[in-house]
Amino acid sequence: MAATLLPTLSPPASRAAALLLRRTEPKPSPLPASFLRRLLAPAPSPPVRPPTFRSLATMPSAAAAGSRATPDRAGLLMLGIETSCDDTAAAVVRGDGVILSQVVSSQEDLLVKWGGVAPKMAEEAHALAIDQVVQRALDDANVSESDLCAVAVTVGPGLSLCLRVGVHKARKIAKTFRLPIVGVHHMEAHALVSRLVNKDLDFPFLALLISGGHNLLVLAHELGKYVQLGTTIDDAIGEAYDKSARWLGLDMRKGGGPALEQLALEGDPNAVKFRVPMRQHKDCNFSYAGLKTQVRLAIESRNISTDDIPISSATEEDRQQRANIAASFQRVAVLHLEERCQRAVEWALKMKPSIKHFVVSGGVASNQYVRTHLNHIAEKNGLQLVCPPPSLCTDNGVMIAWTGIEHFIAGRFVDPPAVDEPDDMQHDLRPRWPLGEEYSEGRSVARSMKTARVHPSLTSMIQGSAH
Ligand code: KG4
Ligand code: ZN
């Protein structure tokens, strides 16, 4: 039988919340005594060692955690583990939003070699890196496993082979140190990390989540309750950036997206007339497969031999042509985002007029052109754009730890694995896992025909309408 990482326990009288309230009068609890001691103990002084992999300068301060910075929360220490795609990441975050460490090990060499994420290779790379990455996160935070209140780990969506590495590691730590586990939805984590960086960001809010595998527009009603306004019917924008960058012969070592963004600065965004996708469909869904093909055709029709000549050795004229294609692609790719977001803002405000924030997160949200253009959409509609710093937009362990904290406090976690749980136990992974139910008026008629099995959405599981 598969072990589940999602709790059956339901709020409002959640265990963690109840324990926090019952500080003076602890009652017997199914949780281990060591966990109770940690939860009820006074907040430890914050460790002072800065992380070495990423600079603390980009990280939010305790003050930025604002209203959520209560002494009880500051006593919670969460380890977050992320292995859903090509980054092996771990972080330790305090309950009040202070980031104690952040470690990311990327698979750039594999991406260059294989031209994308090859699941088996990625799994091996995660397996090689995971122990070191987690140890480094603990060391940089100056804490040990026994200081933690729980372990949070991505259980989906993502590549099963890769997810398994992180889940296995999380369960091993949880089993040894008797820690609860929080199973985290990767895309929810991309959205919620915005609440760590912006103290004013309360539910409800609108979120655009843009990464290598996902293009989601969601209305976040409350923690664990999302309505999906739009998704991609084929490719995500990050995939289109990555493929276009590769076809343009760019240096993929720092990622296709950043390389294309850089080259586009040298180009004329109106030089190539690409069609804006899906204009005939008055919904909030996305499509990037056609734009990808248009880029391929533009390269071929100009006889640019990108296979043999990398951009670094291109002639000046050839480089200009490639820059024009890059800039034109980016203009249309982002215009497609803008058009769908404008409609989504209108839909969201109709449903929830109290919305004040527009969150944009996921790897592609680290792009400056994207941020500037979506900020216009936010301002035009009287909303505040909340975009995490780039290090928190791309995959990271902080967003997993923080989402773990949010759910842990709401009582959504599972008890530590049984001490005799076998190492080869099958775990409950959710490779295709929607965040919320589709907005009924937003269904695309240009729906993709993907038939792979999909798990019930996070929202339906939490709201108890499906298990
Ligand atoms: O969220 P993320 O780190 O991983 C996934 O969950 O997929 O997103 C990775 C995607 C990649 O496609 C990458 O090329 C893209 O985000 N990306 C960018 C930029 N930085 C990362 N795309 C455009 N411009 C960027 N600056
Ligand atoms: Zn991601």
Domain ranges across the chain: 12-199+394-465, 205-391
In CATH terms, the fold of domain 12-199+394-465 is: Nucleotidyltransferase; domain 5 (3.30.420)
30 vs 201: CA distance, rounded Å: 34
Give the DSSP H/E element, type plus range, for residue 391: helix 390-393
Q: By alpha-carbon position, which residue is closest to atom 7 of ligand 1? A: 212
Contacts 24+ apart (CB under 8 A), 20-28: 20/72, 20/409, 23/72
Write down the H helix ranges in 248-315: 256-264, 289-301
Amino acid at the residue 214: H
Least distant ligand from the CA of 362: 1
Q: Residue 86 CA: which ligand 1 atom is closest?
A: 4
CB 47 within 8 A of CB 93: no
Average pLDDT over residues 350-360: 98
CB 299 within 8 A of CB 306: yes
CB 230 within 8 A of CB 442: yes
Same fold, 12-199+394-465 and 205-391: yes
CB 208 within 8 A of CB 442: no
Q: Residue 158 CA: which ligand 1 atom is closest?
A: 6
Choose the residue to mutate in 82, 86, 88, 211 for probing ligand 1, maximizing ligand atoms within 8 Å of C-beta.
211
Average pLDDT over residues 84-90: 95
Distance 190 CA to ligand 2 centre (A): 7
CB 237 within 8 A of CB 215: yes
| Lowest model confidence (mean pLDDT) among 82-91, 238-247, 439-448 | 439-448
Q: By alpha-carbon position, which residue is closest to atom 6 of ligand 1? A: 211
Distance 365 CA to ligand 1 centre (A): 8
Residue with tokens 């008797």: 178
Inter-CA distances, 92 with 67, 206, 227, 405, 464, Å: 20, 27, 30, 11, 30
pLDDT at residue 253, rounded to an integer? 87
Looking at the DSSP bridge assignments, the partners of residue 78 are 93, 150
pLDDT at residue 313, rounded to an integer? 87
| Lowest model confidence (mean pLDDT) among 153-157, 313-317, 326-330, 371-375 | 313-317
Q: Collapsing DSSP states into helix, strand and coil, what is residue 97?
A: coil
Of the two residues 240 and 38, the one the predictor is more confident about is: 240
- Which pTM does this prediction carry? 0.86
Of the two residues 9 and 161, the one the predictor is more confident about is: 161
Q: Collapsing DSSP states into helix, strand and coil, what is residue 218?
A: strand
Distance 461 CA to ligand 1 centre (A): 28
Choose the residue to mutate in 186, 364, 432 for probing ligand 1, maximizing ligand atoms within 8 Å of C-beta.
364
Both structure tokens of 59: 């990280």
- pLDDT at 311 > cutoff 50: yes
Both structure tokens of 284: 């909030």
371 vs 296: CA distance, rounded Å: 26
- End-to-end distance of the chain based on CA atoms, in angstroms? 15
Q: Hey, how many other C-beta atoms are within 10 angstroms of the C-beta on 200?
A: 11
Query: Between the ranges 49-58, 258-267, 426-435, 452-461, where is the mean pLDDT highest?
Result: 258-267
- What order of strands is seen across the sheet that includes strand 99-106? 99-106, 87-94, 77-82, 150-156, 181-185
pLDDT at residue 423, rounded to an integer? 77
352 vs 191: CA distance, rounded Å: 18
Rg (the chain; Cα; Å): 22
pLDDT tens digits, residue range 205-251?
999 999 999 999 999 999 999 999 999 999 999 999 999 999 999 99
Choose the residue to mutate in 185, 288, 394 for probing ligand 1, maximizing ligand atoms within 8 Å of C-beta.
394
**Cis amide linkage into residue 204, ω under 30° from 0:** yes
Q: By alpha-carbon position, which residue is closest to atom 23 of ligand 1? A: 257
Per DSSP, the residues of 181-194 read: EEEEEHHHHHHHHH
Distance of CA 41 to the CA centre of its chain: 32
Percent of the chain with pLDDT over 70: 80
Strands 87-94 and 77-82: antiparallel
- pLDDT at 70 > cutoff 80: no
Handedness of CA 52, 53, 55, 56 (dihedral sign): negative
Least distant ligand from the CA of 363: 1
Residue with tokens 């992999």: 53
Amino acid at the residue 316: E
Q: Hey, how many other C-beta atoms are within 10 angstroms of the C-beta on 456?
A: 14
Distance 241 CA to ligand 1 centre (A): 8
CB 202 within 8 A of CB 185: no
Distance 237 CA to ligand 1 centre (A): 9
Residues in contact with ligand 1 (CB, 6 Å cut-off) = 85, 211-213, 238, 241-242, 255-258, 261, 362-364, 366-367, 394-395
CATH code for residues 205-391: 3.30.420.40
| Lowest model confidence (mean pLDDT) among 40-49, 160-169, 263-272 | 40-49
Q: What is the mean pLDDT of the chain?
A: 85
Give the phi and the psi of residue 422 in degrees, each rounded to 5: -70, 150
